[in-house]
Amino acid sequence: MFATSLSNLVGRGRNTVPADDIMDGRGTMPMSSERCTGCGSCAENCPTAAISISDDGWSVDLGRCIFCMDCAMVCPADAIAEVPAPDYALSRDDLVVRRETDVASIEGVLDERTRRMFSESLAIRELDTGSCNACEIELNCMSNQFYDAHRFGIKVVASPRHADALVVTGPMAENMREAAVRTDEATPSPKLIVANGTCAISGGVFVGGDVAPSGISDVLEPHIYIIGCPPSPDRVIRSLAKALGMRH
């Protein structure tokens, strides 16, 4: 009875989001306008010190940002609004954006050799190095009927020995350093390291606690930085598919 009902449900496919809709999606980020007076209220109230105001102007570090939009709420000039954001970057430095930044240029593609190896099929192993579990919930949804990451050749495996990529979530808790190194060593080369979410990229709200000061990069060397707190399932799929040139 259950098997028949499940088969009918999957067979209908009515609730599956079209692949083009996943690839055309876009998140948002805070950005200041010309009304900004440089008072610094946004930077003072940012819980992760993601905002900077200097001689070069206003900037936000998307690797630190948790997208709470507190900055917009405290701005006395109403100068901060939500604007389209990149999904990922291949360089940590590219995540620091300003008003004049070309968002589309941030989302690069990996080298041809890497794309040739992984663009048709990517087996990922999730590595939790101290997450609050929000990123794990979103990653679990990638494989459900609605998002169906398998359409893009993306699948989750149970062992790092079977993986092409480690998708790392959470800040690098000090007690997870050895486990992270061992997991990395158990993953066959060539492989990809993906910093998934603000905590993995920079430590997020856990900076100052018993975690590495710069996210997972203190222990592992990421190839892809996916922004978000947490990154949504479609953002993760979109980031991997774009960086690897996957067909859909």
**pTM of structure:** 0.93
Q: What is the pLDDT of residue 14?
A: 59
Q: Which regions of the chain are under pLDDT 70?
A: 1-14, 248
Which tens digit of pLDDT belongs to each residue from 177-215? 999 999 999 999 999 999 999 999 999 999 999 999 899
Q: Which of 200, 213, 214 is nearest to 169 (CA)?
A: 200
Q: What is the pLDDT of residue 206?
A: 95
Q: What is the pLDDT of residue 1?
A: 41
- Per DSSP, 41 falls in state H
Q: What is the pLDDT of residue 26?
A: 86
* Rounded-to-integer distance, Cα 70 and Cα 79, Å: 12
Q: What is the pLDDT of residue 70?
A: 96
CA angle 116, 238, 165 (to 5 degrees): 50
* Rounded-to-integer distance, Cα 196 and Cα 107, Å: 15
The domain ranges of the chain are: 28-85, 112-244
User: 134-141 and 233-244 helices cross at what angle (nearest 10)?
Assistant: 70
The b/e string for 127-144 (b: 16+ C-beta within 10 A; e otherwise) is bbbbbbebbbebbeebee
For residue 95, the surrounding DSSP H or E stretch is none
Cβ atoms of residues 127 and 183 within 8 Å: yes
β-pairing verdict for 96-98 and 224-226: unpaired
* Rounded-to-integer distance, Cα 13 and Cα 203, Å: 39
Per-residue 3-state assignment (H helix, E strand, C coil) for 111-138: CHHHHHHHCCCEEEEEEECCCCCHHHHH
**Most distant pair of Cα atoms in the chain: their distance:** 68
Q: What is the dihedral angle through the alpha carbons of 43, 82, 203, 121, rounded to the nearest 10 degrees? A: -160
Distance of CA 95 to the CA centre of its chain: 11
* Domain 28-85 = CATH 3.30.70.20: yes
Task: Tell me the CATH class for 112-244.
Answer: alpha beta
